[in-house]
Amino acid sequence: MDYIKQILAFDDYLMYNQGLSSGQIALWRALMSINNKTRWSEWFTASNQTLETLAGLSRQGINKNRNVLKQLGLIDFQTNGRKATSYHICKLYTSDSVQGSLQEDVRKLSTSNSLQESVQDSLQSSSETVAKKCTTQLRNSGTLYKHKQNININENTNINNHEEDVGVYEFIQSHWEQQPNNLLKGALGPWIREWGPELVLYAVKQAYEYSVDMRWLKSYVDKIFANWKDKSITTLEEAIEAQKAFKATSKKNTGISSYQNKAVRQEKVPEWMNQANGEEEKLSPEEQAELDRQIKDFLEGK
């Protein structure tokens, strides 16, 4: 398969078929990157963990989007039980078009063998450059997530096993029913680059669970990240375990006999936090002290 021709053909496909979501596009490009590394095997295997890293999707997002790509005739796949899934990328261009293009390039330069080799080397170099660029773009994409369901953080399983693939920005807009303010928008990029989209989304979900107002969301999440740094938390699994420990402490301190199947505790916020929506306002010393106290109580399980 010719990498450049396949990429160009896919771009043409997107121009005339605008129904693909960002998650489906990201998954297709991730599979192309992996297939390129396998020297274009007809069938190749790719683990969910690798695809999650390259495409920025959750496991549920991968399963959903690969089914759509298969239905559209862009890929094929076969599950292998507990082993990595096998994938096949359908060619989007014809062999005649590639051969004709290569011959035209060679004719423009020369008919000598040495110049033909030069053209081939140039094409190979361009292919590798495009592959590296696409891989970098995939890794740096902040949120390629799609739509959402209601949040329910389950401490006994992986976070939100039945939730649709959701991006941080889309989650905030959906659950707070407004777009992130400018301060929060400016923080999302640095957060994701430092912590990764999964941890950022988990921190935001904790803030939503405790009914944090949009205006204080940035400060609240910053405190969560600071707490994670103090505890050397770097993975989603470690963050979930820390939240389990916090809830266990809260249960002990509040005298609750059983946490299972009970509604999540909602923090009571002061009236001054329910002012009209707007940008994050400068707090008075008393207001800042109250906000710090609530965040401290959350982090310490009081």
Burial classification of residue 27, based on how many CB atoms lie within 10 Å of its CB (0-12 exposed, 13-18 middle, 19 or more buried): buried
Tokens of 127: 């292919």
Q: Tell which residue, 196, 193, 200, 244, has the closest CA to residue 221.
A: 200
Q: Which of 82-91, 273-282, 284-293 has the highest mean pLDDT?
A: 82-91
Query: Which of 267 and 128 is assigned the larger pLDDT?
Result: 128
Residue 158, classified by CB atoms within 10 Å of its CB into exposed (0-12), middle (13-18) or buried (19+), is: exposed
Q: What is the mean pLDDT of the chain?
A: 75
Paired strand residues for 76: 88
Q: Is it the case that residue 186 has pLDDT exceeding 80?
A: yes
Predicted pLDDT of residue 120: 64
Enumerate the β-bridge partners of residue 46. Answer: 85
Handedness of CA 225, 229, 231, 237 (dihedral sign): positive
Q: Please indicate, yes or no, whether the overall pTM of this predicted structure exceeds 0.85.
A: no
For every residue of 177-229, DSSP letters joined together read SSPPPHHHHHHHHHHHHHH-HHHHHHHHHHHHHTT--GGGHHHHHHHHHHHHH
Q: Are 46 and 34 in contact (CB under 8 A)?
A: yes
Rounded-to-integer distance, Cα 245 and Cα 220, Å? 19
Average pLDDT over residues 132-144: 54
- Model pLDDT, residue 274: 46
Q: Domains for the chain: give ranges and CATH numbers.
A: 3-140 (1.10.10.10), 168-300 (no CATH)
Mean pLDDT confidence for 69-97: 88
Alpha-carbon 169 to chain mean position:
11
pLDDT band at 111 (very low <50, low <70, confident <90, very high): low
